[in-house]
């Protein structure tokens, strides 16, 4: 089952601001749309540096986001993957410096 990717306009917005990210983001999107992932272990077979990050959100609920390195280590792509439904939601794309501030966690 191929994945549906939600919030792809976030990729376009980021690529307009960071033109060198356009091709790597397009490649990532193409890969995910053809993926048949069932777990983070499956994701890591294609993207070995992908990380699952546990984030506490409103009312103490936990969300696991999957963070991808884009264009080497230059950019980060934050996603939420629902493996059983084959859905990947793009949360946002950030520069490495923006990601390192951890402010993105407050926007989940």
How many Å apart are CA 88 and CA 103, to the nearest integer? 21
Q: What CATH number should be reported for the domain whose range is 4-107?
A: 3.30.2310
Where are the domains positioned within the chain?
4-107
Looking at the DSSP bridge assignments, the partners of residue 6 are 89
Strands, E assignment, 1-108: 4-6, 51-56, 62-70, 75-82, 87-95
Question: Would you give per-residue pLDDT tens digits along the chain (108 residues)?
Answer: 699 999 999 999 999 999 999 999 999 999 999 999 999 999 999 999 999 999 988 777 888 999 999 998 899 999 999 999 999 999 999 999 999 998 888 888
């Amino acid at each position: 089952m191929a994945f549906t990717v939600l919030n792809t306009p976030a990729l376009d917005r980021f690529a307009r601001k960071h033109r060198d990210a356009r091709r790597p983001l397009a490649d990532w999107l193409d890969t995910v749309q053809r993926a048949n992932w069932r777990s983070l272990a499956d994701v890591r077979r294609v993207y070995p540096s992908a990380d699952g990050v546990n984030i506490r959100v409103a009312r103490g609920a936990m969300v696991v986001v999957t963070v991808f390195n884009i264009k080497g280590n230059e950019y980060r792509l934050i996603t939420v993957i629902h493996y059983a439904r084959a859905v990947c939601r793009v949360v946002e794309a950030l520069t490495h410096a923006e990601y390192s501030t951890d402010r993105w966690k407050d926007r989940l």
